[in-house]
């Protein structure tokens, strides 16, 4: 089975520009998560989708970040306008919706390394 796929793997943009990150979860996984690691710090939770609905978006840093998951398949995370502090690695993960799923870890993608200059 294909894993979680993220595009692009790297992105370098100027401050003030817009960037859109994409995540394709494992087919059939209802849960999709976005996490971010700023250099040298913890990997922090951003957002959780269950199918197309936002289950928890308490980790979104501000309104410059917009996540969507139309149709409950792939998801996009748009940063507009990007600021220097948005630089980091953005990870996407997915998991199945089943009883006891909270006992397991997720399947993560390789991440998108975003650099804002």
Partner 1 sequence: GNSVTQMEGPVTLSEEAFLTINCTYTATGYPSLFWYVQYPGEGLQLLLKATKADDKGSNKGFEATYRKETTSFHLEKGSVQVSDSAVYFCALRRNSGYSTLTFGKGTMLLVSP
Phi, psi of 70 (to 5 degrees): -65, 130
- Given candidates 55, 73, 96, 115, which one binds partner 1 under the rule CB under 8 A? 55
Nearer to partner 1, 47 or 82 (CB): 47
Q: How far is the CB of 68 from partner 1 (least distance, A)?
A: 19
* 21: nearest Cα among 54, 46, 52, 2: 46
Nearer to partner 1, 80 or 104 (CB): 104
- Give the span between the Cα atoms of 100 and 10, in whole angstroms: 35
Nearer to partner 1, 50 or 81 (CB): 50
């Amino acid at each position: 089975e294909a894993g979680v796929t993220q595009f692009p793997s790297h992105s370098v943009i100027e401050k003030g520009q817009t960037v859109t990150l994409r995540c394709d979860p494992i087919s059939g996984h209802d849960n999709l998560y976005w996490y971010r690691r700023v250099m040298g710090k913890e990997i922090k939770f951003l957002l959780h989708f269950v199918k197309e609905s936002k289950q928890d978006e308490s980790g979104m840093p501000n309104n410059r970040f917009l996540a969507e998951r139309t149709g409950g398949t792939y998801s996009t995370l748009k940063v507009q306008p990007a600021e220097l502090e948005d630089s980091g690695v953005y990870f996407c993960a997915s998991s199945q919706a089943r009883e006891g799923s909270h006992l397991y870890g997720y399947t993560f993608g390789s991440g998108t390394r975003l650099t804002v200059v």
